[in-house]
Amino acid sequence: MRVDVVSVFPDYLEPLRLSLIGRAVARGRLRLGVHDLRAFTHDVHRTVDDAPFGGGAGMLMTPPPWGEALDHVRAEGRAQLGEHVEPHLLVMSPAGVRFDQAMAEDLAREPWLVLACGRYEGIDDRVLTDAARHHRVTPVSIGDYVLAGGEAAALVVVEAVGRLLPGVLGNSASVVEESHSEGLLEAPAYTRPASWRGLDVPDVLTSGDHARVARWRRDESLRRTAARRPDLLGGRSAADLDRHDLAV
Ligand code: ADE
C-alpha cells in the first residue's frame, strides 16, 4: 500500500517511522510519503490560510497550495503505481465520517491513500470538490472532539490501517480476535505470574479446557461491552446475546 500525508507540520508524522508501522515502512510493505503543504506556496510568508468569506472566527486553509500539493502527490503516485491507479483522499476533519475498525479494514484493502491534514478552522471546501473530479474523497473524523489539527488523526488512521496490512503483524490471529473485530470489546487478559499481589488469574484460564476458555471469554466480552460500550450492542442486552449464543 502507498500512503501520502500532506501537512504544514511534516515532523508531526515522524512517529510513523517508529515501532510496528516504522518497520512496515522500512520493509517496503507500506510506502509512506510525507509532504509539506508550505512547499506549494509562492509568497515570502508561505501563506496557507485566509479569513473565511461570510465572517466567523478563525482562519481557513486557502485552496491554491492544497490544489498544487494534491496534484503533485497524485502525479508522483501514479508514476509509481501506474496511470490507471487513483488515490482515495481522506480529509481529516471533526466534521467527517466517523472512523472505526470496519473503515480501517476497508481502507486496508485499497492500494493508495492520501491523507490531508487541516489546521485552523479547516480547508476551503472547494479543495474537496476539485479533488473529487479525479477520485474518491472522504472526510474522516476519529471521534467527537476537536483536535488542533488533522495530524494526530492521520497518525491514528495510518496506524489502525497499517497494522492490518499483510505481513505487518507477526500473528494474524491477533487481528481476528481483538477488540472491535467482532463488534465487541475483548475479554480481560492475563499472563504470568498466576498470582500477583493477592490477585489470582481466573481458574478457567489455567484449566486447559479450550471450550470453557472460549465460553468464558465470550461471556466476559459481552459483560464488558454492556458495561463500557452499551452502544455497540445495538439495544440488545448482554443476556439476550448470550441466549442467542446458547441457541446456536
Ligand atoms: N481535526 C480536528 N479534529 C479532528 C477529529 N476529531 N478527527 C479528525 N480530524 C480532526
> Which of 228, 227, 223 has its CA nearest to residue 238?
223
**Closest ligand 1 atom to Cα of 144:** 6
What pLDDT, on a 0 to 100 scale, did the predictor assign at position 246?
A: 56
12 is in an annotated binding site: no
Q: For the chain, first and last CA: distance in Å? A: 39
Q: Ligand 1 test: best mutation among 121, 141, 145, most atoms within 8 Å of CB?
A: 141
Q: How confident is the model at residue 178 (pLDDT cuts 50, 70, 90)?
A: confident
- Reduced to 3 DSSP states, what percent helix, strand and coil does the chain have, rounded to the nearest 5? 40, 20, 40
Q: Ligand 1 centroid vs 42 CA: distance in angstroms?
A: 28
Report which protein residue has its CA nearest ligand 1's atom 10.
93
Q: Three cell numbers at 16?
A: 510513523
Any ligand 1 atom below 6 A from CB of 145: yes
Any ligand 1 atom below 6 A from CB of 143: yes
**Closest ligand 1 atom to Cα of 145:** 6
Average pLDDT over residues 133-153: 97
Cis peptide before 111 (omega within 30 of 0): no
What pLDDT, on a 0 to 100 scale, did the predictor assign at position 138?
A: 98
Any ligand 1 atom below 6 A from CB of 156: no
Is the pLDDT at 92 greater than 80? The verdict is yes
Q: Ligand 1 test: best mutation among 6, 146, 155, most atoms within 8 Å of CB?
A: 146
183 is in an annotated binding site: no
What pLDDT, on a 0 to 100 scale, did the predictor assign at position 245?
A: 65
- Within 12-62, residue ranges assigned H as helices are 19-26
Distance between CA atoms of 219 and 44, rounded to whole angstroms?
Answer: 62
Is the pLDDT at 157 greater than 80? The verdict is yes
Q: How confident is the model at residue 248 (pLDDT cuts 50, 70, 90)?
A: very low
| Tens of pLDDT, residues 34-65 | 999 999 999 999 999 999 999 999 999 999 99
> Which of 30, 28, 10, 36 has its CA nearest to residue 112?
30
Per-chain mean pLDDT for the chain: 94
Q: How confident is the model at residue 247 (pLDDT cuts 50, 70, 90)?
A: low
* Residue pair 63/127 in contact by the 8 Å Cβ criterion: yes
The pTM assigned to this predicted structure is 0.93
Q: How confident is the model at residue 175 (pLDDT cuts 50, 70, 90)?
A: confident
